[in-house]
Copies of this chain bind each other. A is one copy, B any other.
Amino acid sequence: MTKETTSAQRSRNTTLRDVAKAAGVDVSTVSRVLKNDKDVRTSAETRQRIIEAAERLKYRANPLARALKTAQSRTLLIVVPQIENPVFASAILGAEAEARARGYVLLVAYDQNGSAASVLERVSQSSLIEGVIIASFDEDDSLRQSIAAMNRPYVVINRVLPGDVPCVAVDTCAASAIGVRHLIDLGHRRIGHVAGRLGRFNGNARRQGWEEAMSAAGLDPDPQLVAEAGYDPERVPAAVDRLLERKVTAIHAATLLTGAATIAHLHKLGLDVPGDISVVTMHDDLLARVVYPEITTVGLPTSEMGHEAVRMLVDQLGMPSDAASQRPPVLLLAPGNLVVRGSASSLKI
């Protein structure tokens, strides 16, 4: 079997020099023609010859050499705290598509137990990465320092940070409000909120959305109706129990995962969903449709978030540094639509 593995015997790729030789011109000319240089100044005839030769020899520019020369690797990095979280998976997907469309390559790095700092540190000194998208949970100073030290353009996603930090996030406050309003429209008055991590951007925003929707409907956003569970399904039962003590008829969960756990716990207690308690969630995903009842939830444009992030990043890359401050650096994406399924119904009196 022809099993050529090591780089040593791998056939050499065709280079600029090969094309130049084939077309009978200098490498510089080939480079210019193939790059479609603006001030290109070549005869149509020569250009034709070069293009044909390149075609025939299947020439592809070596990205390494190009990057070395231009200090532009056309490579972006996205740092995520976890990949199994559907929100991040979806964001990565969107970012990858956008990056690919723009001729960039997207690298994925994981920030398990705060290792983002080390990743960024490695990035900072190598010229491999042109820009970074950061989706890390960490909001402490170490990460922020790493970001600053990195000395590369970046955009933060999934949260908005104070200061002049470019961010793109979903307006989860609004998303929350939509879900809660749906419950109100169904006649519910005592609506509990299983909160995410309070103190963090999304946790706070979602809680606030609940609060605003309640207030807007003239209902009391009683803090007693909020029970924090973070992103941890293990903490959901206790939270739900507390809410049940408060005689809620509906529960609004801050994440799809905790929402599913909420329904599971209600079932465990022998309660019917939505017969006894209605449940509404946030973020739409396969998970919402493999439980019974299927979950009513409001979609989040997480994939768009990825798209927008690389769009912003690439814009930033193409701009001289002084112009960078001119555009509004934070983008808050409108939430998606309410997807009505089976986990919420009108209040039976």
Residues on B with C-beta less than 8 A from A93 are: 83-84, 110
8 Å CB interface, A1-44 against B:
1-7, 9-11, 13-14
* A64 and B58 form a contact (CB under 8 A): no
Query: Which one of A182-190, A219-227, A282-290 is at the B interface?
Result: A282-290
Contacting A324 at CB < 8 Å: which of B5, B67, B286, B316?
Answer: B5
* A290 and B261 form a contact (CB under 8 A): yes
Distance of A265 Cα from B289 Cα, bound (Å): 10
Interface size on A, residues (CB 8 A): 76
A107 proximal to B (CB < 8 A): yes
Residues on B with C-beta less than 8 A from A264 are: 290-292, 294
Closest CB in chain B relative to A162 CB, distance in Å: 14
Please give the count of copies of this chain that the complex contains.
2
Digitize A116-151: 1 where CB-to-B-CB distance is under 8 Å, 0 elsewhere: 000000100111101000000000000000000001
* B319 and A10 form a contact (CB under 8 A): no
Closest-by-CB residue of B relative to A67 is B64
Closest CB in chain B relative to A320 CB, distance in Å: 5
* B60 and A64 form a contact (CB under 8 A): no
Closest CB in chain B relative to A55 CB, distance in Å: 13
Distance of A58 Cα from B257 Cα, bound (Å): 43
- Given A5-B316, A68-B65, also A84-B286 (CB < 8 A): yes
Contacting A90 at CB < 8 Å: which of B3, B58, B84?
Answer: B84
Distance of A263 Cα from B294 Cα, bound (Å): 12
Contacting A321 at CB < 8 Å: which of B4, B109, B126?
Answer: B4
- Given A7-B71, A60-B122, also A291-B260 (CB < 8 A): yes
* A60 and B125 form a contact (CB under 8 A): yes
Residues on B with C-beta less than 8 A from A257 are: 286, 290
A10-B152, A62-B68, A265-B292 given; 9 more Cβ-contact pairs under 8 Å: A6-B318, A6-B320, A9-B320, A10-B151, A68-B68, A92-B108, A107-B107, A260-B291, A263-B292
Which residues of A are in contact with B by a Cβ distance under 8 Å?
1-7, 9-11, 13-14, 58-65, 67-68, 70-73, 83-84, 86, 89-90, 92-93, 96, 105-110, 122, 125-128, 130, 151-153, 164, 233, 257, 260-261, 263-265, 267-268, 285-287, 289-294, 316-321, 324-325
Q: Which 6 A-B pairs have the closest CB atoms?
A: A60-B125, A264-B292, A267-B292, A7-B71, A260-B290, A261-B290
Would you give 9 A-B contacts (Cβ < 8 Å), ordered by A?
A: A2-B320, A5-B71, A5-B316, A10-B152, A60-B125, A62-B126, A64-B73, A84-B89, A107-B107
